[in-house]
Amino acid sequence: MGFARTCAVALVGVEGVVVEVQADLEPGVAAFTLVGLPDKSLTESKDRVRAAVVNSGSAWPQKKLTVGLSPASVPKGGSGFDLAVACAVLGAAERIDPRVLSDIVMIGELGLDGRVRPVRGVLPAVLAAADAGYEQVVVPECAAAEASLVPGISVLGVRSLRQLIAVLTDEPVPEEDPDEQGRPDPLMAGLRMPGTGTATGMHAAQHDHGHDLADVVGQHSARTAVEVAAAGGHHLFLEGPPGAGKTMLAERLPAVLPRLTKGESLEVTAVHSVAGLLPPGKPLVDIAPYCAPHHSATMQALVGGGQGIARPGAVSLAHRGVLFLDETPEFSSRALDALRQPLEAGHVVIARSAGVVRFPARFLMVLAANPCPCGRFSQRDDLCECPPSMIRRYQARLSGPLLDRVDLRVEVDRVTRTELTERGTRGESTETVADRVRAARERASVRLAGTPWRTNSEVPGRELRSRWYASLGAMDEAERSLEQGALTARGLDRVLRVAWTVADLVGHDRPGATDVALALQLRTGVPRGVPMAIGALS
């Protein structure tokens, strides 16, 4: 009787569970049994592994073979177990020393010719292996850079099963035939999921550095709101006619955000790795992602879900970045209302029959909407032809509880001819605004050191009222708005959070009456007699 074991990783959402892959050979009729709650794609690995082993020059054992995946209670799916199953079988057949395999975690899919293909979720799988105390992992060669992002773990990248067998048995490592020049590497295809290209708006969009805030004509209030949103992580609602610059402002917001820290980069990269969105040659996402789903997106596309084990949705792909919902009233009300919990909690929990998964969802949401179906409704002119009842129904598509979670609400005015044609009056560049945002984030991080919060938008209201309070009398006007019903209790807390962000941008030790007035103006849209420019408040 032969027995061998090695390890692989089962992914549940973006969290990994180390699975022990055991192979047992017994005398009897040749058969291959796979147990341990595998799904269809994992059950098919029996044929892939057998062909890969034979085509790699090793003999397939003609005995009763049982492969067990432990713990058996954890659902397992995908083709990432192929490499571990093949090595466990070869260890049981004594082609490889079983003692060498026991402390190695193996991740990879096998082709019928023995090549090792990449799979989604390599980074979270290696993180799970490191957390479990393992020090060695074997991954496909093209995914070795992604696996190497995890500190303290030795990564071996292999291109074929033949190479891995040679390394484990101390034999000369064979050279693989190079691919034809000028043709893409077929192994890289496994790093991306079909239907996740840039045209879908669900990709990890690296923002275009050619987009500059100085390109936006006018819109001083909206530019200030974008700066405050970036500095404090506050959600933003832009309402205005078509062509006023709402999408331009949203597209330039990621460039204003600070670069991700190492911990944030690993979080974001893990989500995109599971979703199959990591571009080849770019294993680490180190800048804020930008996700802009189409208004026809379903609730599952926004918050996550799908058949079997849930996949991350747009709110998770925008983790630590920007989620832009253009033409927000055109989204289904069911999909929009599903955003309420992630906006408050910073994560989303999806329960399915195959299991419960938890995805991170700490994002900056930007909503953009026209004021009416024709888009020309305004308090300043009479160009709109929509009846009042139609305007009310259109605006009512955004529920009150959802809008109550949005800190900044700005009306984007129509650009005038003078603003569009005047020369030499460009606004501040992205670099200038980004420097102020970076300085404000640093002030906030010093104040929030030793707490679980990173930005002002994450701090609970009770902490702001008890530990970090505004100047004496600064909140009087906001409290009067609460008594008059213009603000809810949640709205009052959010005004105080925005006031702290304004104070960080200006350089004040704590929010004063002017900071709170600007926060109220950005929240309610009612003029408070303060300049709508951060530089004018300094």
Mean pLDDT within 33-62? 93
Measure the CA dihedral 524/527/531/533, to 10°. 30
Element spanning 315, H or E: helix 314-317
pLDDT digits (tens, 9 = 90+) for 128-180: 999 999 999 999 998 999 999 999 999 999 999 999 999 999 999 988 766 54
Locus of tokens 């003692």: 99
Mean pLDDT within 2-24? 94
pLDDT at residue number 1: 60
Q: Answer with the residue of higher pLDDT: 356 or 82.
A: 82
Instruction: Name which of 287-296, 436-445, 480-489 the model is least confident about.
Output: 480-489
pLDDT-derived band at 115, boundaries 50, 70, 90: very high
In percent, the amount of the chain with pLDDT more than 90 equals 56
Beta carbons of 48 and 29 less than 8 angstroms apart: no
Instruction: Name which of 168-182, 317-331, 432-446 the model is least confident about.
Output: 168-182
Give the integer Cα–Cα distance in Å for 227 and 530: 16
Give the integer Cα–Cα distance in Å for 430 and 193: 33
pLDDT-derived band at 315, boundaries 50, 70, 90: very high
pLDDT at residue number 404: 86
Q: Answer with the residue of higher pLDDT: 219 or 382.
A: 219
Mean pLDDT within 228-232? 95
pLDDT-derived band at 196, boundaries 50, 70, 90: very low
Strand 109-110 relative to strand 116-117, pairing: antiparallel
Mean pLDDT within 334-350? 91
Mean pLDDT within 450-468? 87
Q: Is pLDDT of 194 > 70?
A: no
In percent, the amount of the chain with pLDDT more than 70 equals 90
Mean pLDDT within 254-267? 92
Angle, helices 220-232 vs 430-447, to 10°: value is 40
Q: Is pLDDT of 181 > 70?
A: no
Element spanning 438, H or E: helix 430-447
Q: Is pLDDT of 422 > 80?
A: no
Beta carbons of 149 and 155 less than 8 angstroms apart: no
Give the integer Cα–Cα distance in Å for 22 and 482: 64
DSSP per-residue codes, 243-259: TSSHHHHHHHHHHHSPP
Question: Could you give the C-alpha distances from 319 to 204, 205, 290, 343, 347, in angstroms and in order?
Answer: 10, 12, 9, 11, 9
Candidates 339, 475, 457, 444; CA nearest to 408 is: 457
Q: Is pLDDT of 186 > 80?
A: no
pLDDT-derived band at 538, boundaries 50, 70, 90: low
pLDDT at residue number 381: 66
pLDDT digits (tens, 9 = 90+) for 56-108: 999 999 999 999 999 988 888 889 999 999 999 999 999 999 999 999 999 99
Q: Is pLDDT of 258 > 70?
A: yes
Q: What is the pTM of this model?
A: 0.88
Beta carbons of 169 and 145 less than 8 angstroms apart: no
Candidates 353, 352, 271; CA nearest to 314 is: 271
Candidates 511, 512, 533; CA nearest to 522 is: 533
Q: Answer with the residue of higher pLDDT: 164 or 188.
A: 164
- Is-cis flag, bond preceding 254, omega within 30? no
Instruction: Name which of 1-5, 47-51, 305-309 the model is least confident about.
Output: 305-309
Locus of tokens 């933003």: 236
pLDDT at residue number 368: 95
pLDDT at residue number 197: 44
Instruction: Please enumerate in sequence order all residues whose Cβ is within 8 A of that of 259, keeping only pairs 6 or more positions apart, or say none.
Output: 286, 287, 288
Question: Could you give the C-alpha distances from 32 to 25, 71, 92, 495, in angstroms and in order?
Answer: 10, 19, 13, 64
pLDDT digits (tens, 9 = 90+) for 370-395: 988 888 787 666 678 889 899 899 98
DSSP 38: B
pLDDT at residue number 205: 43
Q: Is pLDDT of 437 > 80?
A: yes
Q: Answer with the residue of higher pLDDT: 106 or 206.
A: 106
Mean of the per-residue pLDDT values for the chain? 87
Beta carbons of 129 and 16 less than 8 angstroms apart: yes
pLDDT at residue number 200: 43
Q: Is pLDDT of 399 > 70?
A: yes
pLDDT at residue number 198: 41
pLDDT at residue number 123: 94
pLDDT at residue number 532: 65
Q: Is pLDDT of 488 > 80?
A: yes
